[in-house]
Structure 1
Amino acid sequence: MEFGYSLAGAFVGFLVGLTGVGGGSLMAPLLIILFGFSPAVAIGTDLWFACMTKAAGGLVHHRLGSANWKIVGRLALGSLPGAALTLIWLAVFHDGSLESGMLLKLLGAALLLTATLMLFKTQITRPLQRIRSRLEMAAGRLRRWQLILTLCGGAAVGSLVTLTSVGAGALVAVMLALIYPLRLSAKTIVGTDIIHAIPLTLVAALGHSWLGNVDAWLLGSLLLGSIPGIIIGSLATGKINDNIVRYALCAMLFVSGIKMLLS
């Protein structure tokens, strides 16, 4: 067990509990840049880390009643098949993982996308909220489009998470804010996001274990810090200025993403 790994796990776990974001977005870059692990092992191990960490945070959010289980189910109907198909594609066509240079570029692009969506989330969702509040769409038609968009978005996220371990947090949070602008509060989005990430990262993590991309000792060290970290973060939701946390996260993601792209 390495104290540095556990400290990194506690830091990332706290951010995941607080915001629903940070698992794959921060842990995989930390493992690659700070600790020197290969991209494939960093991503595979990070998926197990995200699964177990978010399971602890999901329990807290479930007890707080902050998740929308209907939307969790819709997301999973798209994301789990997307993850499974991506794993099969990796096994059949790429011997279990993409080439390291390709993984770094893909991870960097995913980090920059995540950071951009987090930074401009309000600017993206506010116009949609304004339009919807003024134009009352037929309830049945609206529900139909929400279902289709949630399934398709879930499938895209499932594939991206399986390839990079990034996307189960920030991308889903922004997607939910866009598709359900008046139905979900910020607290409900975080709870729904975290609970949906549990089965998604479990499927992806099992697949990466099958493909040989997981370091069990590293995982144990990360979890030693992350479990208490995410519990504390989940209990602190809404008690810390969201803008400060969001700007700090965006800055870290931008730096990590640029580093990945230039590696």
Structure 2
Amino acid sequence: MSVTYVLSGFAVGVLVGMTGVGGGSLMTPLLTLLFGVAPSVAVGTDLAFASLTKSVGTVTHRSKGNVHWEIVLRLCAGALPAALVATYALHRFGALDPAIGQVIRYSIAVSVLLTVISLMFRSRLLAWVHASPNRQLQGRALTVSTVLAGAVLGTLVTVSSIGAGAIGATLLLMLYPRLSPAEIAGTDIAYAVPLTAIAAAGHWWLGSINWALLATLLVGSVPGITLGSWLARAVPERIARGVLAVTLTGVAAKLIY
């Protein structure tokens, strides 16, 4: 089974490298549906996986000046307390309880669907924002909205491990439309590091991380991401994202039904 996990990590790595979508929206449903891993364990293991891989990405983006640290602080001000509250709620109601596991399963499905929406309508949302400059938030309203967005993402990520990638990037595009794609990606990855680390620590406390599984996923994902980055040059982004959106929609439907 370990070889299968390595191959799964490789496959997810390729898709992440090609599309830029966070591995959580792919890996967590894969572990739950294909391998029968308990939803809470799939979430906890993927969070630990994300905290390690995103740390490497942050170093790279920081060296290129793509991280806006003031935005990172605003997002963390909402996301980190929300992650702690969500972790306590999982502890209070029993993260490994089958009934709670079903709730987590549904939350994964909802997060996957939100990812699909962000993939399909991101460009239209951005065009609408640019066409309506008078509706763009400024000053205190922008700060408060960023903190609230962080709180929503913190809750989603802790419960489902999904949200820090495509959903987070879409929210940043709407709130800060003047940022370049590289700055959006760098800022999104940077705030996700402490968020996924705290959420992963919470799941470790809950006993819902499979460390052996984590190691095998990492072995496959690193070369997969490298290959996917090269393939991204050959496959049109619109086609890759469209195929991914259709796949994720099917995954969400399977999780619900």
Listed as ranges, the gaps of 5+ residues in structure 2 are none
In angstroms, what is the RMSD of aligned CA positions? 2.3
Residue equivalent to 2:165: 169
1:214 aligns with 2:196: no
Tell me how many residue pairs correspond in the alignment.
Answer: 255
| Mapped partners of 2:145, 2:174: distance in 1 | 10
2:22 matched to 1:60? Answer: no
The CA deviation at 1:108 is 0.9
The 3 A distance-change label for structure 1 pair 16 and 200 is farther
Q: TM-score when scaled to structure 2? A: 0.90
1:57–1:234 Cα contact (<8 Å) kept: no
TM-score normalized with structure 1 length: 0.88
What is the identity, as a one-letter code, of the residue corresponding to 2:122?
K
Q: Is the 8 A contact 1:56 1:227 kept in 2?
A: no
Instruction: Tell me what 2:221 maps to.
Output: 226
Instruction: Give a deviation string over 1:74-124, Cα, whole Å, max 9, x none.
Output: 1111111110111112212x1235622222222111111210121111122
Stretches of structure 1 lacking an aligned partner (at least 5 in a row): none
1:84-233 alignment runs, 5 A limit: 84-92=84-92, 94-97=93-96, 99-132=100-133, 135=134, 142-181=138-177, 183-230=178-225
Deviation at 1:20, TM superposition (A): 4.1
User: How far 1:64 moved relative to its partner?
Assistant: 3.0
Which string of whole-angstrom CA distances, capped at 9 and with x for unpartnered residues, describes residues 160-189 of structure 1? 1100111111111110010011x2111211
Q: Which of 224, 232, 241 matches 2:236? A: 241
> Which shifted more, 123-132 or 234-243?
234-243
Q: Aligned AA for 1:12?
A: V
Between the aligned partners of 2:231 and 2:64, the Cα distance in structure 1 is 12
The 1-side partners of 2:74 and 2:254 are apart by 35
8 A Cα contact 2:169 2:188, kept in partner = yes
Could you give the per-residue CA deviations for residues 115-167 of structure 1, whole angstroms, max 9, x where no partner exists?
A: 012111112221121111xx497xxx713222111100001100111001111
After superposition, the Cα gap between the structure-2 partners of 1:59 and 1:244, relative to the gap in structure 1 and judged at 3 Å, is farther
**Secondary structure of 1:99 counterpart:** helix
Letter in 1 for 2:95: G
Q: 1:136 to 1:224 in 2, by over 3 A?
A: closer
